[in-house]
Structure 1
Amino acid sequence: MPLQGPGPIELRAIDGELRRLDALRSGLLVRREALLGGLRAGVRANGPAGVPPAGGAPAPPPAPTPADAAPGTARDTLLILGGGLLTLAALTFMLLSWRGIGLGGRTLVLLTLTAAALAAPVTLLRRGLNATAEVVATLGLVLLLLDAFGLHRTAFPEADGLGYAAACAAAIAALWAWYGRLLPEPGLRLVLPTAVVVAQLALPLAALALNGGPGDVAWALLATAWADVALAVARRGPSAGARATAWVGALVTGGLALLLAEALPLGGMAAGSPAPSVSGALLLAAVAPPLLWAAHRRPGERALLAAGAGLALLGAAGGLGRWAVPAYLLPSVGLLAVAWWLERRGLGGRGRASMGAGLGLAAAFAQGAALLWALPAVAEAAWGPFAWAGAAWDGVPGGPARDALGPELAWSGGAVTPLALGVLAALAVAVRRLGENAVLRLWAARVALPLAAATGATALLAAGVGYAPTLAALVAAAAGLLMARHAVAGATGLALAATATGWALAEQAATFAVLGALAAALVVARGRAVNATHRRVAEAAAVLCLAGLARAVPAAFEVPSEWAAFAVLGVAVAAVAAGVGTARARSTTLEGAGYAVAGWALVLASGGAATASLALGVCGTVATAVALRPERRIPAGVAATALLSAALWVRLAASEVAVPEAYTLHLAVAALVLGAVRRRGDASVSSWRGYGAGLVALFLPSLVVVFSGPDGARALLLGAGALAVTIVGARHRLRALLALGGATVALVAAHEWGPYLTTALGLLPRWTPPACAGLLLLCLGATYERRMNEARRIHATWRRLD
């Protein structure tokens, strides 16, 4: 073959390129095999214990622990933290270090930083570091705002602040949108949305600068909302992010305009004038037609825009009567009827994106506002009677029940409260019967009964019924609902029972009668329960009622509360025994309720050291008995150890022993020895299960004493012991020893050296630490993003080779 000429030269070039590709493919294959080997090693390491790898080869190292966060999340976290710290550094420099530099220095520093921050995204975008460019551009916007502030303080000190701010907002918004257009592809996603956000301030600030009243500000906000809607429904131009931001801006500014129209007198009328605000009503009504037009142009946002129009109409109707619940609630009923009619006729679409759905959402918003308005009065009626716990059995004053809601506490609601609740309950029933959406019908069925119960309870208070008839009606309603075979009825009955229990504390006879009646009703409800949840709730509530009776009986004989605690503790022990029971009659709910009542008994017994120690000992003994169950062995054993140890500590503390290590050291050593023996017998036991409790008992008491006051010797000994534990943990690769020992060393070091470190850092400028930390995080985020891009390029190269 000829060796000269263009043919052989091209052949040699092709051969060289093929050899280069073969070398690249070989390297990628080697990397692929290494990754597969690591994955197989992880599978073998997690396989059955005692099975060696195939071929008798030594076991490969275990696979690394999988990461908890995605790479993009880690990158964004680093960049956001870095940008935030740099912004904090810039603000600190502006506010604290500004006066130390002359006018020329100020201008040069800010202009240089701003120019660098605005130019850097161009280079970053060309290198593919889009996320880093977003953060740097945002920092540039912050610097632009600081430039504007600096110009006002230095070049235009006489300019009106509000007018200057309005002009700056408009100029910076336009400049920022133009800057976003100039950037190379793919551009920045946040530039145009940020410009939209800044533009929201221009018109309201201009209205304030021109000494406009509340009406002028409301119209400025409404004009801003109009501009946002026009931008959002534009068929060309803005990006998806800018459209979404415009929608949010329209909601915020339009909502503020509506609130301002309702909260303040408009149209030049004096505050407190009884005449209706016609200007405010016109402003609110003017919102609806454009929103309906936008809904016609944007079917995707039809429901949202219709909801805005409905809210505007409701505001206009309610504004004529100023803020009153009927003025908004009754028109919302009519709006809901219109929405239902449109949905049935199919006008304006069907489903969640229809006009009817939007109007229904607006009506639901007004009805939710009415419910929120009524909630304080309902909450006062429900929880106010618990104030009698601080004045139990003092007796109620004569007169209506609304004046005896608590000791010196009267109900603040009125006749409108049950009226609003009754309308809402009727609406829930109507939605349940006439609605077509299954989810709405389900929720309407769930809220109708609680609303009806709240209506009845508040109606008794509003009508001025006496204490005894009101309490009897509550108990009867609660008992009936508790015995009903329905979850919502049971929950409503529990709420009424809780209110009746609190109110019954006012009279001794009422306490025994109400608790006894409720306990009997709960026992019947447990027998009539249709599911396990209903039965468990009835069991727990019955235990609480019996515990209340156990507390009331000693109180009737004037037994001190620390000794009356043992009657309550008896109910707790009985509940735990019944809950643990046998395999056929086991109830975790009874057991849990017993533990809760035992906690209450311990609080009651804490009035004296002797009773507290005795109660802790009884609880520890019960926990020891529960630990005989195999499935309760570990948690009950730990609880028994803690309770019996606490009983010992309380008894010793009563003897004024001031060294906590005398109480804990022997227990900690015993726990560590037992943990070591357990780990030696069972290699699968982790270091946390083996040594965690012992290390906590060893370090925590001394650590509390060290932080409670200066104690150099104890801190030195504690730090030395924790350091030794950390070294042992590192030597034997035990996580519990490393974590707890290292944390203790760090806490002791922070306590001892913290004041000196704070003093040293105080000598530096305030902006230096956040600036350094922000730059470090920003560099880490950029490096992380570059590594991700390189990994994507390698993956794409590998796919092309295939």
Structure 2
Amino acid sequence: MRYADPTRCPDCRDELPAGVPVCPTCRLLVRHPLAVDLFSTLRRADDLVEDLRTASDAFPGPALSASATAAPLGGALVPPGAPVTPKRSVPTPPASMPATPAASSSGYASSTGPVDPSRTGVSVSSIPKILLGLGAFCLLTAGVIFLAVSWSALGVGGRTGVLLAFTAASLSSSMLLHARGLRIAGESLSIVGLGMLCLDVLGAGAAGWLGDGSRGWTASCAGLLVAVAGSALGLLRIGSQPRLTSPQVLAGAGLATAYLGAVAASGHDLLVAHVATVLALAVAWVGHRATEDALLRSAAIAALLTWSGGAIVALVQGLLDPTLVQLWRDGTGWSLIASAAWMALPGLVLRERRLALLGAAGAAVVVTVTATLPGIDGELTSIGMLALVVTSAWLVALAALPAAVRVVAVAPACAGAAILAGISLSTMSVAFVRWTDFLAENPAAFDRSIGLRLSGPDAPASPLQLVPSLLVIAAVVALLGRGRIGRSAVAAGAALVTGVGAAVTLMSYDVALALPVGALVLTAAGCLSVALRGSGAAATGSGVLGLALAAIATATALPSAPLAALTAGAAAVGAITLARLRDDALRALGGLAAAPFVGLAIAATVHVTDAGGAWVAVPVLLGVGILALALPRTEVEMAAGVTALFALATSLPHVQDAGGFSSLWLCVAGFLCCASALLTPARRPLGGVGLALLLLATWVRLIDLSVRQPEAYTLPLALALLALGLWRLQRSDETSTVTALLPGLLLVTVPSLLWVLSDPISLRALVLGASCLILTIAGAALRWNAPLLTGAVVGTIVILREIGPYAGAVPQWVWIALAGAVLTGLGITWERRVIEVRRTVGFLGRLR
């Protein structure tokens, strides 16, 4: 019987007519989404039943007894859909424990009961592994101690007999236990047997049976014997039992030991490495043929160790003496060729295409290094030229080879590109040192000479190789990213690499400063042209690179005022062009960079005219202000403001009349703010800023002139502003008094207030206080905000200044009592308001 039956109702199990949404018997919704979920669950139950039946048929244990059959777990099973009546009054008898299954044929003990998923600790199958591992370790330790203690007391026959007996006992016990299905015990004793075999060889070497008793040859013989015995023991199959794994692992360790011992004893490092590599590859091939991953991997690791040792020794010898005699007569070159062949051999023997291509790529690197060793003479220039030629050749191969075998050329091309990158970095680092030394020698910016020349240390390699090397590296990157990097990006990258490389190359020689700066400017112009023609992320990246290169060029040209003016002017043109584009990112970049470049160009031009640093701030302010008027955007205005303030800070130390100069600068700044407010409707709030700057300029100038009667200068302008404001109020009912009258009222009262604060006992203080009183009363009577606020605020400040000298004469308890009275009054008022609110809420709640 199936649980998931689409022809029957899942509740009453009656047959369902075709296409009905509701069961006609029990009225169950059989087309509801919950019914779909229920049907999926029942199908899962059918799958589980089939899996359980398959596992039950394959179970090798004995049949259940009659008593076990008569007492099923949990009571009798009922078919799906049948009603189940719970028996609350009858306790459920405990279920009988299932029979213990027999041991599997693989030799691993199975659990003796159901697994509790909440149980933690050491698993049952791990206990024999731990015990047998400790036992094997103890047996080997005991054998070593026994031989060390009893060796001198035993004769030759006794020694031979003991060693052979221990070895034979261990290996035979391993086979017998493994044949009986005790695999873990067999693995452990096989390790003991192979360890005893090593002791046999060491004992034979100590007895002089292996020649001169060299420890290297003894270790080599021991490792080779363990490799052979481990391979044979690991490949031996006893009955239906699986092969042992530990001897296969020890076979690879034995090969590595044999190689190291032979290297230490013979002195023929290259020959020993190749022989050991051949043996390790042969053992790995045997493991592959026998489908034993443990033997294959251990032998492969041993082959990698032996191959690496031989290749490294041969490479070091070739680098120390890269002559043709050393390479081809003494065998270094042939050794490297053999190492390359061993890399390509595994893929060819195993007929695995991917492994063969990777081996061929590695072999190509080794062969390339071998062929280029005679051309290395220790000079970085010759190494760079050789790497440039060889990498170019592999670059052509990378472009010409079919896609199926192109990976062969990737490794040597990348290796050559890495060497070229290292040499190029050394050249660029020296150029950077020359540039920093030049700036240190010329700390004063804007020197009038345009013929400044670079100087400094020479590069370790020829700087003329820099541009070709960078182009080859870029070509390798472009070919590796074929299909993902567009042609326009490749062209832009090539132009960028060429320009930057040319600038760095020129910086490496004692040339005029204008040459590397011109190369950087041309490169920046190329990047900006790409940004103007492109769109998206590529255009934004080109714009960022162009502006960055323009900034570097300008910073490099700072010691020369004419060169800095030309460079910064060109950069300003490019930034303004970007700021007028439709792309938001490029517009923001251009807007942020335009003002600094304009300011720097103007400052350099001022120094060219020999006007001095004192006259830099005002022309820079005018220049960036006009730029902000032409491009009324937030980023342009912010950059213009920062540039103007920086120019002011740099000019003030050179000015003799700081007050007059500051007043002039503030006046120009106020004029520019007012002009922006008049020309751009969105910048109307700048009108107030401009008036404040103009007023501040007036005060600064008055203070600088030591004027004691400011009203003579402020009242005429204030009366004019008030007259204009009153006229505006009469013409427009929507105009507020704050907009129309507040500037004039502030100009009338604030300058006088400043003098009153310094001299409170004066006629000016009396007149100002009376004026504030009149303004307050008039504003309250006319309901005008501007006179009321001005009179109240300024009058309060005057009163506080007048009462200040007498505040200390009043006893402290008066102020404390006054504060307490004020707080008490506030508390009473607050409580009264709360009670009134509650009464109002209650009254509204009683309304129907």
Regarding TM over 0.5, the answer is no
TM-score by length of 1: 0.41
Higher relative contact order (CA 8 A, sep 6+): 1
Which structure's residues are more often helix, by fraction?
A: 1
